[in-house]
């Protein structure tokens, strides 16, 4: 999360950025995962909440 409006998804074990999520038009405020880990949710100062496939 950051001022660049991107959410970066990382493989922590490999220290590798997997992808960037770019649909928000303002600062991203929060990130969460569904209980099964399949969905990633983001919320932003642009007033939106987005749902993403966590993998690929």
pLDDT grade, residue 2 (50/70/90)? low
Residue 18 within any structural domain of the chain: yes
Residue 30 within any structural domain of the chain: yes
Measured between alpha carbons, how far is 15 from 23 in angstroms, rounded to an integer? 24
The total domain count for the chain is: 1
Residue 1 within any structural domain of the chain: no
Measured between alpha carbons, how far is 44 from 56 in angstroms, rounded to an integer? 22
Residue 13 within any structural domain of the chain: yes
The pTM assigned to this predicted structure is 0.78
> pLDDT tens digit string along 18-36?
999 988 899 999 999 999 9
What residues make up the domain containing 26? 7-53
Residue 22 within any structural domain of the chain: yes
pLDDT grade, residue 54 (50/70/90)? confident
Least Cα distance to 26 among 55, 8, 52, 2 occurs for: 2
Residue 2 within any structural domain of the chain: no
Q: State CA 12 to chain mean position distance.
A: 15
Write down the pLDDT at residue 4: 74
Residue 40 within any structural domain of the chain: yes
Asked whether the predicted pLDDT for residue 43 surpasses 90, the reply is yes
Asked whether the predicted pLDDT for residue 1 surpasses 60, the reply is no
Q: State CA 32 to chain mean position distance.
A: 8
């Amino acid at each position: 999360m950051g001022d660049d409006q991107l959410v970066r998804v990382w493989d922590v074990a490999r220290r590798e950025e997997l992808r960037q999520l770019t649909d928000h038009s303002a600062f991203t405020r929060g990130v969460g995962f569904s209980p099964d880990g399949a969905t990633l949710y983001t919320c932003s100062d642009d007033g939106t909440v987005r749902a993403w496939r966590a993998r690929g």
